[in-house]
Amino acid sequence: MDKLDIKILSRLLNNCRESDRNIGKELGISGGAVRARIKKMEENKMIENFTIKVEPPILGFGVLYIVVSGQNIEEILEQITLVGEPFFVVPCIGGITVCGIVVKENLQQKIKLANKLMKDVRVLSIFEAESLGFNSNLTKTDLEILEQLIKDPRKKIESISKDSGLSTKTITRCIEKLHENEGIQFTVIYDPIKIQGFIPHAILAWIDGDLRETLKKMNEEFHDSFMQIPFIAKNQIVLFMYSNDIFGMDELTQRVRNMDNVKSVDLFIPKTISLPLKWLREAINDAKKSPTLHLGYQTN
């Protein structure tokens, strides 16, 4: 990989529906060159698949983040599903696994349950996601289109229209609405091991102070090193970054650690990444049965 490849991958991670032409325009190359590079990354299985990431609060659910130490991923997942459906699962170097769990109710009870269920692993951290004020106000039409995009996030508007029976105007308007929603992201699943020449990593910064102001400063200082848009969870800011080598990675980590309001940092280097969609399909199916046109889900 070269710097252009990593920049293209970064653009796709943040919006895989962005056109090759537009990506090329931003990076100073042709749309055809972008398309060829994406195709090569797919052929090499570095890009595993295009997908959609929906924050569970959009559909009225809570989220628990859990960090455990243990090598048996299948056993960890088996225990996690007794608490709720996995939202994302990221095994990292050093035997650490970071998971997001979708839960319907009684979050504090689920935290206690998760601690009791974790056998043969060491629970390093369990915390509830901070409410970021997601207000979905999704309609049943939005859900129909979202259902189509789960199958293929890069699906053309004309194809969605043909399969759904909705007009291209309606679909265009709905997709624009989904893009504007901070809790919905059209993205890709990639294989970190196959990113040669760069090290993708996540820095979890524990904040003691103004989260939004700290995130703004981090965006200003580190935007050139971001692979994905950072996100806030409780009193943490998660930065998805890349470095050329371990020394660059260590330097970035130290710079984050030395920032105002940063209490401590943890570094995670992913081995694999997965975004299970079972919970999302079931949630959409249930929501479509609602007797009202607008679902109006909103976090408290």
pLDDT confidence of residue 298: 40
Residue 97 lies in a domain: yes
Asked if 175 and 226 sit in the same domain, the reply is no
Please report, for the domain that includes residue 59, its CATH number.
3.30.70
Give pLDDT, residue 293.
46
CA-based Rg of the chain, rounded to a whole angstrom? 19
Per the structure, the complete domain to which residue 88 belongs is given by 55-136+181-190+272-291
What is the CATH classification number for the domain harbouring 221?
Answer: 3.30.70.920
Residue 196: inside a domain:
yes
CA distances, 66 to each of 70, 268, 269 (Å):
12, 13, 16
297, part of any domain: no
Domain count across the chain? 4
CATH number of the domain at 21, please: 1.10.10.10
> What average pLDDT is seen over the chain?
87
> Does one domain contain both 160 and 185?
no
Looking at per-residue confidence, does 290 or 64 come out higher? 64
Q: Is residue 264 part of a domain?
A: yes
DSSP track, the chain: --HHHHHHHHHHHH-TTS-HHHHHHHHTS-HHHHHHHHHHHHHTTSEEEEEEEE-GGGGT-EEEEEEEE-S-HHHHHHHHTTT-EEEEEEEETTTEEEEEEEESS-HHHHHHHHHHH--SSEEEEEEEPPP---B---BHHHHHHHHHHHH-TT--HHHHHHHH---HHHHHHHHHHHHH-TTEEEEEEE-GGG-TT-EEEEEEEEESS-HHHHHHHHHHHHGGGEEEEEEEETTEEEEEEEESSHHHHHHHHHHHHTSTTEEEEEEE-BS--B---HHHHHHHHHHTT-SSSB---B--
pTM: 0.86
Can you name the residues that pair with 96 across neighbouring β-strands? Answer: 69, 92
Same domain, 151 and 27: no
Q: 229 and 123 share a domain? A: no
Q: Which strands, in side-by-side order, build the sheet including 62-69?
A: 85-92, 96-103, 62-69, 122-128
**Domain-located, residue 99:** yes
Do 253 and 209 share a structural domain?
A: yes
- Check whether residue 283 and residue 264 sit in a common domain: no
What's the confidence (pLDDT) of residue 231?
82
Q: Are 132 and 72 found together in one domain?
A: yes
Instruction: Say yes or no: 39 and 115 in one domain.
Output: no
pLDDT in tens, 184-196: 999 999 999 999 8
Look at residue 250 and tell me if it is in a domain: yes
Asked, for residue 40, whether it belongs to a domain, the answer is yes
Flag whether 262 is in a domain: yes
| Same domain flag for 176 and 197 | no
**pLDDT per position as a tens digit, 105-129:** 766 677 676 666 666 667 677 667 6
The answer to whether residues 101 and 174 belong to one domain is no
Are 127 and 254 in a shared domain? no
Same domain, 77 and 34: no
